[in-house]
Amino acid sequence: MNGRPLTGRRIGAAVAVLLAVAAIAVAVLSAPSAGAGPDRSGNGGPAASTAAPESALAERGRRLFEQGCSDCHGFDAHGVDGVAPDLHGVGSLSADFYLRTGRMPLDDPDDQPVRSDPPYEQDQIDALVAYIGGLGGPTVPAVDTAGADVAKGRELFTENCAGCHQVVGQGGIMPGAVAPDLRQSSPTDVAEALAVGPYVMPTFDHLKPDEVADIARYVTYTHDPEDRGGWGIGNIGPIPEGMVAWLLAGAALLIAIRLIGERTSR
């Protein structure tokens, strides 16, 4: 130092520099961390504000899982050998399908999961789906059938599905299982089932998204098909409908023959 006394001007400059440094430090410390985006309301809050509701939903789902599912799938959802599979990696897609359609939980792990009224309320299903989805895996598919082709869907359904579910999707019996009636199935149900392959049903990973939409559109059409040929007889398909028609025609022919025979014998 040169030993010169500090003047008022130098003191003021030093104070200004200290205040500027302090302001910069406050700005750096209060700035959001890297990767923190705006919250869902668009207010630009920290990332924690967006994650909290999802974490709370998944945490509720974990508690519901421990209460109602852990006996079969294990406390940590890694499954139980010979009882129920590991749920890590199945995603919210599988969880949504089984829970929303009432196929899970099962009273007996050996039973076939069939569609029924779900025992959980929708908010509970949402929580369980959030928890299981957080374990990794595919998300619930978005199926847009607005521009789907019913005729193409019928061809694909006949090729891939009708062998078990009938051409009009009313289900059937097969060795060791029952192919369910699809008259309650939504487009999302169809897309999820094709991806999951519930019970003995295989997965159909080879189908493209537009083909899945076509099949879903056709299944929706079968809920209330147009009977262009007249009497649909429950829309059970052309072959059984034809057999019914022949039986009715045969019965009418026998009655007519009987009446004609009685008149001629008099």
Domains 53-133 and 150-222 share a fold: yes
Q: Token pair for residue 201?
A: 């049903």
Q: Which residue has the tokens 């299981």?
A: 132
In terms of pTM, does the model score above 0.75? no
pLDDT at 38: 37
pLDDT of residue 233: 63
Helices (H) and strands (E) in the chain, counts: 10, 2
Integer Cα distance of 96 and 196 in angstroms: 11
Beta bridge mates, 84: 80
Indicate the domain borders of the chain: 53-133, 150-222
- Give the pLDDT score at 41: 34
Residue 22's pLDDT is 56
Q: Provide the β-strand partners of residue 173.
A: 178
What single letter denotes the amino acid at residue 247? L
| DSSP characters over 78-106 | S-BTTTB---TTTHHHHHHHHHHTT--S-
DSSP 122-188: HHHHHHHHHHHHTTS-PPPPP---TT--HHHHHHHHHHHTHHHH-TTS--EEETTEEEPP-TT--HH
pLDDT value at position 17?
Answer: 52
- Residue 94 confidence (pLDDT): 98
In the prediction, which pLDDT does 234 show? Answer: 63
- What pLDDT shows up at residue 260? 84
For position 202, what pLDDT does the model report? Answer: 95
- pLDDT at position 18: 56
Secondary structure of residue 64 in the 3-state scheme: helix
Which pLDDT value is given to residue 43? 38
Q: Between the CA of residue 174 and those of 171, 180, 182, 235, what are the distances in Å?
A: 10, 10, 16, 20
Helix (H) or strand (E) holding 203: none
Do residues 127 and 61 make contact, with C-beta atoms less than 8 angstroms apart? yes
At residue 244, the pLDDT reads 74
Which CATH architecture fits 150-222?
A: Orthogonal Bundle (1.10)
- Contact between 143 and 212 under an 8 Å Cβ cutoff? The reply is yes
CATH class of the structural domain 53-133: mainly alpha
CB count within 10 Å of CB 217 equals: 24
- pLDDT for the residue numbered 257: 86
Per-residue tens of pLDDT for the chain, all 266 residues: 444 454 555 555 555 555 555 555 545 444 444 434 333 333 333 333 344 456 899 999 999 999 999 999 999 999 999 999 999 999 999 999 999 999 999 989 889 999 999 999 999 999 999 999 999 999 999 999 999 999 999 999 999 999 999 998 989 988 889 999 999 999 999 999 999 999 999 999 999 999 999 999 999 999 988 766 656 666 655 666 667 777 888 888 889 888 887 777 66
